[in-house]
Amino acid sequence: LIIMSIDFLFHKGKAARIILLCLLPTFIAPPFIYSRVAEGGKKQGIVKSYFKNYPEWDWALNTWEVVEYIVNPNKRDYTKVPEYAEKIFEILPQGAHFWNSVGRADYPLRLYYQDIYKIRTDINHHSLFSPLMTPEQAKTEAVNMKMYIQSGMPVYIASHSYPERAVLDELYVLLDPAKSLNQVSSLSIEELINSFPDIKIEKITV
C-alpha cells in the first residue's frame, strides 16, 4: 500500500512530488524508531519504566522480551517464541496437561503450533485468561489439576507467577484444607514449593 501511494504521488506532477518529499520521512523513519525504542527497552530507562507499569510485564517477563515484542513490528529476527516452543515440546511428554497464561505463551503454542500446524496435538492446553480470571475460576482450574494429578496424568504449569500462582494456591488449599487461602498466598514461591502437600513440584528452567 505504501509503495502504491508513493508511485501514485510521484506521477501526479510537481506539487504531488513535493508532498511526497515531505511525507517520505514518515514512510522511512518508523522502522528505525521502533527498533531504537525496542533496544532501549532492554536497558533500565524511561522506555522500560513505562512498560513496567503494566501488570502484563510480570506475567510475560520470563517468556519473551516485552518491549521488543510489542513496539517493534519487524519480527523477522525475533526468534524467542519458536525457541521457547521448541524447548516446551522437548519437555512435555505425550498427553501432558499444560496450564499457561494467554498473556504468556498460550496463544502461539495452542492456536499457532497446535491448531494451525498440527504440531504436538497430544498436549492438553488449559488456558488462563489473566486479566479477568476470578478466584472461582482459579479454583475450578485447581480442581481439574488435582483430578489429572491423582489420575496419574503428567501435569505441567508454565510459571509460578500470576495467574498460574492463583491456581497453585487453590490447589494447595484443596490438598490441605487446614490452611486458608490467605496463608498460602502469603508464602514465597520457595516456601510454597517446599511445603506443597502430597505433591512434589519440580522447577524446570526453559
Residue 105 — very low, low, confident or very high, per pLDDT cuts 50/70/90?
Answer: confident
Query: pLDDT tens digits for 24-44?
Result: 666 666 666 666 666 665 667
For 4, 62, 97, 108, 196, the CA distances from 88, given in Å and listed in that order, are: 42, 13, 12, 12, 24
Q: In terms of pLDDT, which residue wins out, 38 or 135? A: 135
Instruction: Write down the pLDDT at residue 52.
Output: 73
For 26, 40, 77, 133, the CA distances from 51, given in Å and listed in that order, are: 25, 11, 22, 22
For the chain, domains (ranges, CATH) are: 2-71 (no CATH), 80-195 (3.90.190)
Question: Considering only 29-33, 81-85, 137-141, which range has the smallest mean pLDDT?
Answer: 29-33
- As given in the structure block, the three cell numbers for residue 153 are 496424568
DSSP 114: I
Q: In terms of pLDDT, which residue wins out, 204 or 77? A: 204
Please state whether the peptide bond connecting residue 82 to the residue before it is cis, i.e. omega within 30 degrees of 0: no
Q: In terms of pLDDT, which residue wins out, 190 or 30? A: 190
Helix %, strand %, coil % for the chain, to 5?
A: 60, 5, 35
Pairing state of beta strands 155-157 and 97-101?
parallel
Q: Dihedral sign, CA of 92, 202, 62, 129?
A: positive
Q: With CA atoms as reference, report the closest residue to 138 among 162, 155, 105, 106.
A: 162
Instruction: Write down the pLDDT at residue 190.
Output: 94
DSSP 93: P
Give the range with max mean pLDDT: 63-77, 98-112, 165-179.
165-179
Share of the chain above pLDDT 90, in %: 47
C-alpha–C-alpha distance, residues 157 and 92, integer Å: 11
Give me the count of residues in the chain.
206
Torsion of the alpha carbons at 192, 171, 128 and 93, rounded to the nearest 10: 80
C-alpha–C-alpha distance, residues 86 and 82, integer Å: 6
What is the average pLDDT value for the chain, to the nearest integer?
Answer: 82
Residue 125 — very low, low, confident or very high, per pLDDT cuts 50/70/90?
Answer: very high
b/e map 26-48, b = 16+ CB within 10 Å: eeeeeeeebeeebebbeeeeebe
